[in-house]
Amino acid sequence: MKNTSKLQIATMTQKEEGKVPKWQRSAIIDENLNVYVPAAASGNEVLAVMCALQDGVSSISSLGHAFLPADWMKNNYPDIACYCDKVSAKLRYEFHSFDFNSL
């Protein structure tokens, strides 16, 4: 597990309330601009976390689910590479000047 002292959770809004759970619409960014996406995006959250741990990759537990580095996810699950790239680009753009020391 990664130290969660300097993390920001970003949640995408939805047009209709209650359709998509908050955790599925969320991603996490840390002070080094590393982006974490829901491990469940892989299709099997538990298996993805086990594989990541075996690779020595840190996970973050938030909103009742595991989040894994987007870069690791896209390399290990090419079917979601586009999703990982889009989420990473958006969060890095939005948070590139965010003062994580203010947390």
- Contacts of residue 85, defined as CB under 8 A and 6 or more positions apart, other chains included, come to 70, 74
- Model confidence at 41: pLDDT above 60: yes
pLDDT for the residue numbered 2: 54
pLDDT (tens digit, 9 = 90+) per residue, 53-82? Answer: 999 999 999 989 999 999 999 999 999 999
pLDDT for the residue numbered 36: 97
- Model confidence at 3: pLDDT above 60: no
- Model confidence at 100: pLDDT above 70: no
pLDDT for the residue numbered 91: 93
- Model confidence at 103: pLDDT above 60: no
Q: What is the pTM of this model?
A: 0.86
How far is residue 46's CA from residue 89's CA, in Å, rounded to a whole number? Answer: 26
